[in-house]
Every structure is written in C-alpha cells, then in structure tokens.
C-alpha cells in the first residue's frame, strides 16, 4: 500500500527541502525524498549546497583566510605569533561538524513542520488517476512507494566531466574531492577559472599550494562587470598569488598514482605541466539520473535540463521542477526561492521570482558580488546609463579591518535614475550586495540610496558614496 501525500518533493537540497517546508506550512501533507549519503554512508539532507558545495567551501575559505591572516596580516596589528601551522585534518573535521549540525537542523525542521523525511532514490513510475506514483529505492532495493497529487523535482546538478578524464577524487578531483584533500598538495592544477576554481584555488593557495588555473575562455569572469573582473584578476593573481592562464586549450591529461600531467595549448604554443592534484571545475550539468523521466514522458530540453515554463511547471500535470535541474543560474538561493514559489503556486497563490535581481557572490578575498546588469549588458542593449564608483581605499572601517581594497560601482538609468546594477569587489561585499537587491526590488533610484543614512564607520558607506558619485556629488571621492 502506497503512502499518500498532497506533495512529494524529490531532492533535499536548498531547492527541495525549502519547497517541502513551505508546502507543509501551507497545509499540504508533504514528503521529501532525498538520496544523498555522507562519506560514512549515512543520509544527510541539504543536497550539494550543504554537503559538498556552498557551506563546506565557505568553511574552508574562512580557515584558509585565518591561516593567511596570522602569517601575513597580524604583524601589522602588532600581534606576533610563533610559526603558524595548519592541521588539515582538524580543519576538515570543523567543516564536517558544520555540515552535520546544519543537516541535523533540516531534519529537525522537517519534524517541526511534519514533513515526512524519506531517504532513498525517488523514481517517477506512473500516473494513476489524478496521482503520481513514486518508487523509493535504497542500495538498489525498493523501500517505499508514494502517491502524490503534486511532485516537485529538485534533483540538482553534478559536475561536468572533461571528456576522457574521469574524476577519481584521488588524483583528479571534482568539488567533493577538492573539499576533502587530506593534505596540502605542493602543485595544484585547476581546470576552469569559474566560481569553484577561484574559491577552491584560493583555499589551497593560502594553505601553501602553488596553484595554476587553466581557463578556456579568453575573458576572465565573462558574466561579471568587466571593470570589476579586471580588478579581481589583478587581486587574485598579484595578491592571492593564483597563476591564472586564460585562453587555454586543454589537450591530453594523464594521471598516474603520483602525478597528473596536463597538456595544453596557449597562444599557439604547446605546454605540458605536472601537478600533484588536479581539480576539474568546468561547470555543472542537471541531474536527472534515476528520476524515471522516460517512465512518465517528462520532457527535458536540449541541454538535459527538465523543461519548465516561467512558473516551474513541467510538461506534465502536477509535476514541477526547481533549482539546478532547470534553466537559470545554479545558485542555492535561486533554488530556494523557486521552491517557495512553487509551493505557493500549488496553494493557488501568485508568487514571482525575478531573475533580474538574483545576487551573485564569489567568496574569494577580496569578495566579488553583483546584482543586476553589467555595464557591458547595458551597452549591448542600448540602454543609456550613468555610473558612480567609489573605492574602499579610504573607508575607515575597511582600513581598520586591514582590507581597504576594492570598488563599488552603481549603474542607473540615465533618464529615470532607477538602479540597474550594483557591482563590487572588496571586503564583505557578499553582505553589501543585499543593499542593491533590496533597492532594485523596491525599484529605487540612485538618489534614494544617496539620501539613505548609512552607519559610520561602515563598509556600506562605499555603496552610499557610489550612489552619490552617480549624481556627481561624491563627498569623499
């Protein structure tokens, strides 16, 4: 006999678990089926984001920044410490502790909201009357069958593989291996100077590795505003010390038990370089393995994403899909917002997720963050704009922190003054970008930001100054 639910969510990442909680809040009987197992073979909710993505990467970034600070920054404060050492095992233990704590937190939230927490692989089996039949299996054996009026697919993504180069997470690593290295490699190669390459490259560089990043594109961070991207390239190569090579064509890669040799071409010249470990971070692909798309005629698009309309509805009645497995940026907060929106749509509400105001953050040091259109996009779209920029160089709070480096750039419509984009590199800009998101959601003008009181001394004063500069009345510029 199948268990009956109003809503079954398949996938317990930031898309799926949030959708399940919201659906339960709205009064639906809800189950969430998730297949993830941690390295000890135990179920662990939270998906890629919590287990092998956003959260562990930020934990290691912080550890590595602390290690860097004690060696290179504390002396400026008059603090000396005798020979700093890094205990990688302890660092990983701390990271794993954060994951366990948050995963247990999601289980607690499921209990609190009466979401049935079902471990296993969820497979769409068939339509039965008005309901969908879902089979749950674990280690190849069927452990449960569920029936639901609505199904929310939130199965996430997996790392894109380089053809002919299998990741073994020993010598050739994807995100999982890059977050679990048991020792600092002497020479670390990274393929792809995207978000993972830059974040993970920064971690291991600060812990002592020589890091070379090989990037196919000729432009660094092509999706970012190029003024900020250029400043980022300089900071990450000169200050962090990453060796980033752009416009590279990767050739044969050979891994032995001790080394990985990467052949590549750059400016028409052939190179071969040997690394002790290689991270492959060349993007991610939607994960529909085991979902049973064919069993029920679920439509995928030409790139393998589950095809959805603007409301995250698939081609099948009552089946929705959200997060990394559908079009749009592969970001945890995008997945969660789609999850909330779908649950509310099932309840007959009319929520809206605006892709134009999704913030992006790259947690390097300095951090890079933006929301809205870049200057390049505005030019390409023929939109007349004005801009204001301001730096962290003279900001009192940034100086006090010892991180007085970076820029905030505000772009506003030349005619209406409405804010169209906010781009930044600098200390804690992951937090500052929220001011841009809120302003843009409220359709604020740059004058609104310029007239809002910002605390002194605070990093947010640089955003304030950028808004003043857009009207050519910066006070400190």
Q: What are the residues binding ligand NAI (CB under 6 A)?
A: 162, 191-197, 199, 214-217, 250, 281-284, 329-331, 361-363
Q: Which is nearer to ligand NAI, 143 or 217 (CB)?
A: 217
Which residues, at least 6 apart from 262, have a Cβ–Cβ distance to it below 8 Å?
189, 191, 214, 250, 251, 253, 272, 273, 275, 278
Nearer to ligand NAI, 53 or 185 (CB): 53
Cα 344 → chain centroid: 24
Distance CA(468)–CA(462), nearest Å, equals 10
337 vs 112, 323, 331, 332, 385, CA distance in Å?
A: 21, 9, 10, 9, 30
Does the annotation count 456 as an active-site position?
Answer: yes
Q: Which residues of 308-322 are buried (b: 16+ CB within 10 A; e: fewer)?
A: beeebbbebebbbbb
Residues 6+ apart with CB under 8 A from 210: 186, 187, 188, 243
- CB of 71 or CB of 430, closer to ligand FAD: 430
Contact 170, 180 (CB under 8 A): no
Closer by beta carbon to ligand FAD, 69 or else 330: 330
Residue 67 phi, psi (nearest 5): -65, -40
> Which range binds ligand FAD by CB under 6 A, 46-54, 125-133, 139-147, 305-313?
46-54
Residue 217 interacts with, from ligand NAI, ligand FAD, none (CB under 5-8 Å by kind) = ligand NAI
362 binds, among ligand NAI, ligand FAD, none (CB under 5 to 8 A by kind): ligand NAI
Residue 15 interface partner, choices ligand NAI, ligand FAD, none, CB cut-off 5-8 Å depending on type: ligand FAD
Helix, strand or coil, per DSSP, at residue 161: coil
- 287 counts as binding ligand FAD under rule CB under 6 A: yes
Distance, CA of 102 to CA of 395 (rounded, Å):
35
Q: What is the C-alpha to C-alpha distance for residues 420 and 382, in angstroms, rounded to an integer? A: 13
**Is residue 175 within the footprint of ligand FAD (CB under 6 A)?**
yes
What is the end-to-end Cα distance of the chain in Å, rounded?
A: 71
Options 333, 456, 464, 476, the catalytic residue = 456
Residues in the chain: 477
Residue nearer to ligand FAD on the CB measure, 240 or 390: 240
Site for ligand FAD contains 156 (CB under 6 A): yes
**Residue 430 beta carbon to ligand FAD: minimum distance, rounded to whole angstroms:** 9
The answer to whether 10 contacts ligand FAD (rule: CB under 6 A) is yes
Fill in the per-residue mask, 121 to 150: x = in contact with ligand FAD (CB under 6 A), - = not in contact.
Answer: xx----------------------------
Which lies closer to ligand FAD via its Cβ, residue 199 or residue 461? 199
Report the DSSP beta bridge partners of residue 286. 157
Rule CB under 6 A: is residue 155 a binding residue for ligand FAD?
yes
Catalytic amino acids?
Answer: 456
Q: Which residues bind ligand FAD (CB under 6 A)?
A: 10-16, 33-36, 47-49, 53-54, 57, 121-122, 154-157, 175, 196, 287, 290-291, 323-325, 330-333, 335
């Amino acid at each position: 006999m199948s268990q009956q639910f109003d809503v079954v969510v398949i996938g317990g990442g930031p898309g799926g678990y949030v959708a399940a909680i919201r659906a339960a809040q709205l009064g639906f009987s809800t189950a969430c089926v998730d297949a993830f197992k941690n390295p000890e073979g135990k179920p662990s909710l939270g998906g890629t984001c919590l287990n092998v993505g956003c959260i562990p990467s930020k934990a290691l970034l912080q550890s590595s920044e602390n290690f860097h600070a004690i060696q290179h920054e504390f002396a400026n404060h008059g603090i000396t410490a005798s020979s700093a050492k890094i205990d990688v095992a302890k660092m990983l233990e701390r990271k794993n502790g954060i994951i366990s704590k948050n995963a247990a937190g999601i289980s607690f939230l499921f209990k609190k909201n009466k979401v049935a927490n079902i471990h296993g692989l969820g497979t769409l089996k068939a339509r039965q009357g008005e309901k969908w039949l879902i089979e749950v299996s674990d280690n190849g054996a069927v452990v449960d069958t569920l029936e639901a009026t609505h199904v929310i697919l939130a199965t996430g993504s997996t790392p894109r593989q380089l053809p002919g180069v299998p990741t073994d997470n020993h010598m050739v690593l994807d995100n999982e291996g890059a977050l679990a290295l048991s020792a600092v490699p002497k020479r670390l190669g990274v393929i792809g100077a995207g978000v993972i390459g830059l974040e993970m490259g920064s971690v291991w560089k600060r812990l002592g590795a020589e890091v070379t990043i090989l990037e196919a594109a000729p432009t660094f961070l092509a999706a970012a505003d190029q003024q900020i991207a250029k400043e980022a390239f300089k900071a990450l190569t000169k200050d962090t010390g990453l060796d980033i090579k752009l416009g590279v064509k990767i050739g044969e890669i050979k891994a032995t038990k001790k080394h990985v040799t990467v052949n590549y071409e750059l400016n028409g010249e052939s190179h071969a370089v040997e690394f002790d470990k290689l991270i492959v971070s060349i993007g991610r692909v939607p994960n529909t393995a085991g979902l049973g798309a064919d069993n029920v005629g679920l439509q995928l698009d030409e790139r393998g994403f589950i095809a959805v309309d603007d409301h995250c509805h698939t081609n099948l009645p009552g089946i929705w899909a959200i997060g990394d497995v559908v079009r749009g940026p592969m970001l945890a907060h995008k997945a969660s917002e789609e999850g909330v929106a779908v649950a509310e749509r099932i309840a007959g509400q009319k929520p809206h997720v605006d892709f134009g105001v999704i913030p992006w953050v790259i947690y390097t040091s300095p951090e890079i963050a933006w929301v809205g259109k870049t200057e390049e996009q505005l030019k390409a779209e023929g939109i007349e704009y004005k801009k204001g920029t301001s730096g962290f160089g003279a900001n009192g709070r940034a100086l006090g922190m010892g991180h007085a480096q970076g820029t905030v750039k505000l772009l506003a419509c030349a005619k209406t003054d409405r804010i169209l984009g906010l781009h930044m590199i600098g200390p804690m800009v992951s937090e500052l970008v929220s001011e841009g998101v809120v302003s843009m959601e409220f359709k604020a003008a740059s004058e609104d930001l310029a007239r809002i009181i910002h605390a002194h001394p605070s990093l947010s004063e640089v955003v304030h100054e950028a808004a003043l500069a857009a009207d050519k009345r910066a006070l400190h510029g």
